[in-house]
Chain A
Amino acid sequence: MKTFKIEHRNSDGFEIIDLYGELDAHTASQLEESLKNLISDQKSNIIVNFRELDYIASAGLGVFMAYIEDVRTIGGDIKLSNMNDKVYNVFDLLGFPTLYDIFDDEKQAINKFLSES
Protein backbone atom coordinates (compact mmCIF):
# COMPACT_ATOMS: atom_id res chain seq x y z
CA MET A 1 0.00 0.00 0.00
CA LYS A 2 1.29 3.44 -0.95
CA THR A 3 1.26 6.35 1.45
CA PHE A 4 -1.07 9.13 0.39
CA LYS A 5 0.73 11.81 -1.56
CA ILE A 6 -0.17 14.69 -3.86
CA GLU A 7 2.04 15.95 -6.66
CA HIS A 8 1.36 19.02 -8.70
CA ARG A 9 2.57 19.70 -12.24
CA ASN A 10 1.72 21.97 -15.10
CA SER A 11 1.10 20.54 -18.56
CA ASP A 12 0.39 22.82 -21.54
CA GLY A 13 -1.00 25.46 -19.17
CA PHE A 14 -3.21 23.05 -17.27
CA GLU A 15 -2.81 22.36 -13.59
CA ILE A 16 -2.48 18.64 -12.98
CA ILE A 17 -2.83 17.10 -9.54
CA ASP A 18 -1.57 13.52 -9.24
CA LEU A 19 -2.96 11.53 -6.34
CA TYR A 20 -1.18 8.52 -4.81
CA GLY A 21 -2.29 5.94 -2.25
CA GLU A 22 -5.50 6.16 -0.24
CA LEU A 23 -7.76 9.19 0.06
CA ASP A 24 -9.93 9.05 3.18
CA ALA A 25 -11.16 11.32 5.98
CA HIS A 26 -7.57 11.54 7.26
CA THR A 27 -5.87 12.51 4.00
CA ALA A 28 -8.68 14.58 2.39
CA SER A 29 -7.46 17.79 4.05
CA GLN A 30 -4.23 17.63 2.00
CA LEU A 31 -6.22 17.58 -1.22
CA GLU A 32 -8.38 20.40 0.08
CA GLU A 33 -5.25 22.47 0.72
CA SER A 34 -3.93 21.85 -2.81
CA LEU A 35 -7.21 22.88 -4.44
CA LYS A 36 -7.53 25.95 -2.24
CA ASN A 37 -4.02 27.07 -3.20
CA LEU A 38 -4.74 26.69 -6.91
CA ILE A 39 -8.03 28.58 -6.65
CA SER A 40 -6.48 31.42 -4.65
CA ASP A 41 -3.85 31.74 -7.41
CA GLN A 42 -6.74 31.97 -9.93
CA LYS A 43 -5.58 28.72 -11.51
CA SER A 44 -8.81 27.17 -12.59
CA ASN A 45 -8.15 24.65 -15.37
CA ILE A 46 -7.51 21.72 -13.08
CA ILE A 47 -7.18 18.04 -13.89
CA VAL A 48 -6.95 15.49 -11.10
CA ASN A 49 -5.21 12.33 -12.24
CA PHE A 50 -6.19 9.28 -10.17
CA ARG A 51 -3.84 6.79 -11.86
CA GLU A 52 -1.92 6.01 -8.66
CA LEU A 53 -4.88 6.32 -6.29
CA ASP A 54 -5.85 2.94 -4.87
CA TYR A 55 -8.78 3.90 -2.67
CA ILE A 56 -11.25 6.69 -2.06
CA ALA A 57 -13.87 7.29 0.66
CA SER A 58 -16.66 9.86 0.57
CA ALA A 59 -14.53 12.42 2.45
CA GLY A 60 -12.36 12.56 -0.68
CA LEU A 61 -15.37 13.09 -2.94
CA GLY A 62 -16.59 15.79 -0.57
CA VAL A 63 -13.53 17.91 -1.41
CA PHE A 64 -14.49 17.96 -5.09
CA MET A 65 -18.06 18.88 -4.14
CA ALA A 66 -16.89 21.76 -1.98
CA TYR A 67 -14.68 23.47 -4.58
CA ILE A 68 -16.23 22.77 -7.97
CA GLU A 69 -18.53 25.80 -7.82
CA ASP A 70 -15.65 28.14 -6.91
CA VAL A 71 -13.61 26.86 -9.86
CA ARG A 72 -16.49 27.08 -12.32
CA THR A 73 -17.32 30.59 -11.11
CA ILE A 74 -13.87 31.80 -12.15
CA GLY A 75 -14.32 30.20 -15.56
CA GLY A 76 -12.55 26.90 -15.03
CA ASP A 77 -13.35 23.33 -14.15
CA ILE A 78 -12.03 20.35 -12.24
CA LYS A 79 -11.85 17.37 -14.56
CA LEU A 80 -11.04 13.91 -13.31
CA SER A 81 -9.07 11.18 -15.08
CA ASN A 82 -7.46 7.73 -14.95
CA MET A 83 -9.55 6.19 -12.15
CA ASN A 84 -9.33 2.47 -11.51
CA ASP A 85 -12.66 0.58 -11.47
CA LYS A 86 -12.86 0.51 -7.68
CA VAL A 87 -12.43 4.28 -7.36
CA TYR A 88 -14.74 5.03 -10.32
CA ASN A 89 -17.44 2.86 -8.74
CA VAL A 90 -17.63 5.16 -5.70
CA PHE A 91 -18.00 8.26 -7.91
CA ASP A 92 -20.60 6.44 -9.96
CA LEU A 93 -22.65 5.27 -6.96
CA LEU A 94 -22.92 8.86 -5.78
CA GLY A 95 -23.93 10.22 -9.18
CA PHE A 96 -20.79 12.20 -10.00
CA PRO A 97 -20.59 11.30 -13.72
CA THR A 98 -23.60 13.51 -14.51
CA LEU A 99 -22.04 16.59 -12.90
CA TYR A 100 -18.30 16.12 -13.45
CA ASP A 101 -16.24 15.30 -16.52
CA ILE A 102 -14.52 11.99 -15.82
CA PHE A 103 -12.14 10.62 -18.46
CA ASP A 104 -10.18 7.41 -18.95
CA ASP A 105 -7.08 9.40 -19.76
CA GLU A 106 -5.57 12.76 -18.82
CA LYS A 107 -5.08 13.66 -22.50
CA GLN A 108 -8.85 13.45 -23.06
CA ALA A 109 -9.38 15.87 -20.19
CA ILE A 110 -6.93 18.32 -21.77
CA ASN A 111 -8.70 17.98 -25.13
CA LYS A 112 -12.04 18.70 -23.47
CA PHE A 113 -10.62 21.88 -21.93
CA LEU A 114 -9.23 22.90 -25.34
CA SER A 115 -12.58 22.28 -27.02
CA GLU A 116 -14.30 24.46 -24.45
CA SER A 117 -11.98 27.43 -24.81
Chain B
Amino acid sequence: MDNTATYHKAIKAATSKLTDIRKFVAKHAREHGFNEKQISDIQLAVDEACTNIIKHAYQFDQTKNITIELEFDGDQLSITLTDRGAGFDPNRYQRPDLKKQIEKKKRGGMGIFLIKNLMDDVHYSTNNDENVLRMSKIRS
Protein backbone atom coordinates (compact mmCIF):
# COMPACT_ATOMS: atom_id res chain seq x y z
CA MET B 1 0.00 0.00 0.00
CA ASP B 2 1.10 3.55 -0.74
CA ASN B 3 2.62 5.24 2.29
CA THR B 4 0.63 8.42 1.86
CA ALA B 5 -3.07 8.84 1.23
CA THR B 6 -5.74 11.47 1.79
CA TYR B 7 -9.49 10.98 2.21
CA HIS B 8 -12.18 13.63 2.41
CA LYS B 9 -15.74 13.59 3.63
CA ALA B 10 -18.28 16.37 4.00
CA ILE B 11 -21.15 15.60 6.32
CA LYS B 12 -24.26 17.32 7.53
CA ALA B 13 -23.79 18.72 11.04
CA ALA B 14 -26.26 16.37 12.72
CA THR B 15 -25.80 13.92 15.59
CA SER B 16 -27.51 11.28 13.43
CA LYS B 17 -24.37 11.35 11.25
CA LEU B 18 -21.95 10.47 14.06
CA THR B 19 -22.16 6.75 13.29
CA ASP B 20 -21.15 7.38 9.65
CA ILE B 21 -18.25 9.54 10.78
CA ARG B 22 -16.97 6.86 13.16
CA LYS B 23 -17.25 4.23 10.41
CA PHE B 24 -15.41 6.40 7.89
CA VAL B 25 -12.52 7.04 10.27
CA ALA B 26 -12.29 3.42 11.45
CA LYS B 27 -12.34 2.00 7.92
CA HIS B 28 -9.36 4.02 6.74
CA ALA B 29 -7.37 3.75 9.98
CA ARG B 30 -7.80 -0.04 9.80
CA GLU B 31 -6.71 -0.11 6.14
CA HIS B 32 -3.56 1.76 7.18
CA GLY B 33 -2.61 -0.70 9.90
CA PHE B 34 -3.71 1.05 13.09
CA ASN B 35 -4.55 -1.43 15.84
CA GLU B 36 -8.05 -1.78 17.29
CA LYS B 37 -7.23 0.15 20.48
CA GLN B 38 -5.87 3.05 18.45
CA ILE B 39 -8.86 2.91 16.10
CA SER B 40 -11.18 3.19 19.12
CA ASP B 41 -9.22 6.18 20.41
CA ILE B 42 -9.35 7.92 17.03
CA GLN B 43 -13.08 7.22 16.60
CA LEU B 44 -13.88 8.66 20.01
CA ALA B 45 -11.71 11.76 19.46
CA VAL B 46 -13.36 12.48 16.11
CA ASP B 47 -16.84 11.81 17.53
CA GLU B 48 -16.22 14.22 20.42
CA ALA B 49 -14.84 16.89 18.11
CA CYS B 50 -17.80 16.61 15.70
CA THR B 51 -20.26 16.62 18.60
CA ASN B 52 -18.71 19.86 19.85
CA ILE B 53 -19.04 21.41 16.39
CA ILE B 54 -22.67 20.30 16.07
CA LYS B 55 -23.63 21.51 19.56
CA HIS B 56 -21.50 24.59 20.06
CA ALA B 57 -20.24 25.90 16.73
CA TYR B 58 -23.50 25.28 14.82
CA GLN B 59 -25.97 24.95 17.72
CA PHE B 60 -27.73 22.02 16.06
CA ASP B 61 -28.29 23.82 12.74
CA GLN B 62 -28.49 20.83 10.40
CA THR B 63 -28.14 22.93 7.26
CA LYS B 64 -24.45 23.33 8.10
CA ASN B 65 -21.59 21.04 7.17
CA ILE B 66 -18.44 19.65 8.70
CA THR B 67 -15.57 18.58 6.48
CA ILE B 68 -13.22 15.84 7.56
CA GLU B 69 -9.86 15.15 6.00
CA LEU B 70 -7.72 12.16 6.86
CA GLU B 71 -4.09 12.28 5.82
CA PHE B 72 -1.92 9.23 6.23
CA ASP B 73 1.78 9.90 5.94
CA GLY B 74 4.12 7.12 7.00
CA ASP B 75 3.15 6.19 10.55
CA GLN B 76 1.15 9.34 11.13
CA LEU B 77 -2.55 9.98 10.70
CA SER B 78 -3.56 13.64 10.73
CA ILE B 79 -7.25 14.46 10.94
CA THR B 80 -8.51 17.92 10.05
CA LEU B 81 -12.06 18.99 10.91
CA THR B 82 -13.27 22.25 9.46
CA ASP B 83 -16.41 24.20 10.28
CA ARG B 84 -17.71 27.71 9.72
CA GLY B 85 -19.56 28.14 13.00
CA ALA B 86 -18.82 29.97 16.25
CA GLY B 87 -15.23 29.45 17.27
CA PHE B 88 -13.97 28.20 20.61
CA ASP B 89 -10.59 27.78 22.17
CA PRO B 90 -9.87 24.24 23.35
CA ASN B 91 -6.88 25.56 25.32
CA ARG B 92 -9.31 27.16 27.76
CA TYR B 93 -10.56 23.78 28.89
CA GLN B 94 -9.00 22.02 31.86
CA ARG B 95 -9.50 18.49 33.06
CA PRO B 96 -13.14 18.43 34.22
CA ASP B 97 -13.67 18.33 37.99
CA LEU B 98 -16.18 15.51 38.01
CA LYS B 99 -17.23 15.89 41.64
CA LYS B 100 -18.00 19.61 41.26
CA GLN B 101 -19.81 19.06 37.97
CA ILE B 102 -22.00 16.39 39.50
CA GLU B 103 -22.85 18.61 42.47
CA LYS B 104 -23.81 21.41 40.10
CA LYS B 105 -25.51 18.99 37.67
CA LYS B 106 -23.29 20.38 34.97
CA ARG B 107 -22.12 18.32 32.03
CA GLY B 108 -19.73 19.04 29.26
CA GLY B 109 -16.10 19.94 28.93
CA MET B 110 -15.29 16.25 28.76
CA GLY B 111 -14.96 16.04 25.00
CA ILE B 112 -11.94 18.32 24.77
CA PHE B 113 -10.25 16.55 27.64
CA LEU B 114 -10.78 13.20 25.91
CA ILE B 115 -9.52 14.49 22.55
CA LYS B 116 -6.30 15.76 24.12
CA ASN B 117 -5.89 12.52 25.98
CA LEU B 118 -6.58 10.17 23.10
CA MET B 119 -4.58 11.91 20.37
CA ASP B 120 -0.84 12.59 20.25
CA ASP B 121 -1.14 16.17 19.08
CA VAL B 122 -4.07 18.62 18.89
CA HIS B 123 -4.03 22.03 17.28
CA TYR B 124 -6.88 24.48 16.81
CA SER B 125 -6.98 27.63 14.70
CA THR B 126 -9.50 30.09 13.33
CA ASN B 127 -8.95 31.91 10.03
CA ASN B 128 -11.38 33.74 7.79
CA ASP B 129 -14.47 32.44 9.65
CA GLU B 130 -13.19 28.91 9.38
CA ASN B 131 -12.38 26.88 12.46
CA VAL B 132 -9.82 24.17 11.91
CA LEU B 133 -9.11 21.41 14.39
CA ARG B 134 -6.13 19.30 13.47
CA MET B 135 -5.19 16.28 15.48
CA SER B 136 -2.76 13.49 14.87
CA LYS B 137 -1.95 10.00 16.02
CA ILE B 138 1.18 7.95 15.42
CA ARG B 139 0.65 4.30 14.49
CA SER B 140 2.14 1.95 17.08
What residues make up the interface of A, taking CB atoms closer than 8 Å to B? 1, 22, 24-26, 55, 57-59, 61-62, 65-66, 68-69, 86, 90, 93-96, 98-99
Contacts and interface: CB of A to CB of B under 8 A. Distances in A.
Contacts of B102: 65, 68-69, 99
B33 interface: no
Contacts of A93: 113-114, 117
B125 to A, nearest CB: 23
B96 interface: yes
B98 A25 contact: no
Given A66-B107, A90-B44, A99 B98 contact: yes
B51 A57 contact: yes
B103 interface: yes
Contacts of A25: 15, 18, 47, 51, 54-55
16 contacts: A1-B19, A24-B18, A24-B19, A24-B47, A25-B15, A25-B18, A25-B51, A55-B22, A55-B43, A58-B111, A61-B110, A65-B105, A66-B105, A93-B117, A95-B96, A99-B98
B4 interface: no
Nearest to A96: B98
Interface in B66-120: 96, 98-99, 101-103, 105-108, 110-111, 113-114, 117
Contacts of B98: 65, 94-96, 98-99
A94 B114 contact: yes
B63 interface: no
Contacts, number: 69
B93 to A, nearest CB: 12
Most chain B C-beta atoms within 10 Å of own C-beta, residue among A57, A61, A86, A96? A57
Contacts of A94: 96, 98, 110, 113-114
Contacts of A26: 15-16, 18-19
A65 B100 CA distance: 10
A95 B54 CA distance: 25
A69 B47 contact: no
Given A58-B111, A62-B110, A90-B44, 10 more contacts: A24-B19, A57-B18, A57-B51, A65-B107, A66-B105, A69-B102, A93-B117, A94-B110, A95-B96, A99-B102
Given A58-B111, A61-B110, A94-B98, A69 B103 contact: yes
Contact of A57 (B37, B48, B99): B48
